Amino acid sequence: MAIISLGSMAFDAIETPFGKIDKIVGGSGIYVAYASSHFTQPVQQISIVGNDFPEDEMNELKKRGVQLTGVEIVPDQKSFFWSGKYHLDMNTRDTLITDLNVLANFSPKVPEEYQGAEYLMLGNLMPSLQLSVIEQLRKRPKLIVLDTMNYWMATAMADLKNVLLKVDVLMINDSEARQLSDEYSLVRAAKKILQMGPEYLIIKKGEHGALLFHKEHVFFAPALPLDEVFDPTGAGDAFAGGFIGHIAHTKNTSFENMKTAIIVGSAMASFCVEKFGPQRLKEITRKDIDSRLTEFVQLSNFNIALV
């Protein structure tokens, strides 16, 4: 039940109304790896880092069943660096710095031992690199999930549309769905996007939950109302990791099982935002996850007597 995970491994600087941190490990691939490895191992990571990436972090990942054969280490360059500042509502943020560094010349190579993986999580990265990983796989995975962002819609729309033709599930947030489809209504946006390639579309709405679209069906998963959101960075990637981790663990790619998977994804996102960086994803146990899933069930479980 291996999952191949492509994504960035980075240093982030984050500022929120609650605090500031100048350097912390982050990147889409890091959050996906920590979240998904709670459910399925191995996670076969594909990424690139510079000579500055901490060995401790690599060892921590390995301990959790994350294989790093596909992570290139460039000896004379720095790792990808991203810096962001959140607004008071914690739902919106400004990107302050994007230093591509090693990512500028990244050309991912799928190691031989990763061939045959049944699940592929294409985390947020250049669409051309996401496509290159799909093309290197000799056997098509059972499920290909793609996460992307507004940045690539603005700078690489043609490449993005190309890779969308080859994936099963697309994950984006509400403003990105509007940007991609040119439609304001999310239902209309979903209809258009489902004609661009993916059979399933997940629209994330931050603290307002997530929608799963497939053909004429739609399912809604709430986000857990939290006392305090400390740092939303990586929530989308933790969601993606929980989603694909659950699908791989249960070996079931049906729409019904995807409903559970987006609840699992929402639970992982709710942990992620409780501390800076991926820290919470490392601390939590299976028991913590199960009790949070129970909270989700209680949150939206109701019976209505139709009169």
Query: Which residues would be at the binding site for ligand AMP (CB under 6 A)?
Result: 8, 10, 12, 26-28, 82, 98, 124-125, 151, 233-237
Question: Which of 253, 276 has the CB closer to ligand AMP?
Answer: 276
Question: Kind of pairing, strands 66-73 and 43-49?
Answer: parallel
With contact defined as beta carbons under 8 Å apart, do 63 and 1 qualify? no
**Dist CA 242 CA 266 (whole Å):** 8
With contact defined as beta carbons under 8 Å apart, do 28 and 233 qualify? no
Least distance CB 264 / ligand AMP (angstroms): 16
Rounded alpha-carbon distances, angstroms, from residue 131 to 41, 68, 103, 166, 172: 24, 20, 16, 8, 17
Question: Which of 14, 263 has the CB closer to ligand AMP?
Answer: 14
What is the token pair recorded at 23?
């350097």
Question: Which of 207, 237 has the CB closer to ligand AMP?
Answer: 237
Least distance CB 54 / ligand AMP (angstroms): 15
Helix, strand or coil for residue 72?
Answer: strand
Alpha carbon 229 to chain centroid, angstroms: 18
Cα distance from N-terminal residue to C-terminal residue, the chain: 47
Least distance CB 237 / ligand AMP (angstroms): 4
Least distance CB 302 / ligand AMP (angstroms): 30
Least distance CB 161 / ligand AMP (angstroms): 18
Question: Which of 52, 290 has the CB closer to ligand AMP?
Answer: 52
Question: Which of 41, 233 has the CB closer to ligand AMP?
Answer: 233
**Dist CA 4 CA 19 (whole Å):** 34
Determine the Cα angle at 241 with ends 239 and 244, to 5°. Answer: 105
Question: Which of 82, 118 has the CB closer to ligand AMP?
Answer: 82
Least distance CB 124 / ligand AMP (angstroms): 5
Which among 254, 256, 283, 253 has a CA at the least distance from the CA of 268? 283
In the bound complex, which residue of the shown chain has the CB atom lying closest to ligand AMP? 26
Least distance CB 304 / ligand AMP (angstroms): 35
Q: Is the dihedral of CA 161, 167, 173, 177 positive or negative?
A: positive
Question: Which of 40, 233 has the CB closer to ligand AMP?
Answer: 233
Question: Which of 118, 121 has the CB closer to ligand AMP?
Answer: 121
Least distance CB 11 / ligand AMP (angstroms): 8
What is the token pair recorded at 266?
């929402």
Q: % helix / strand / coil in the chain, to the nearest 5?
A: 40, 25, 35
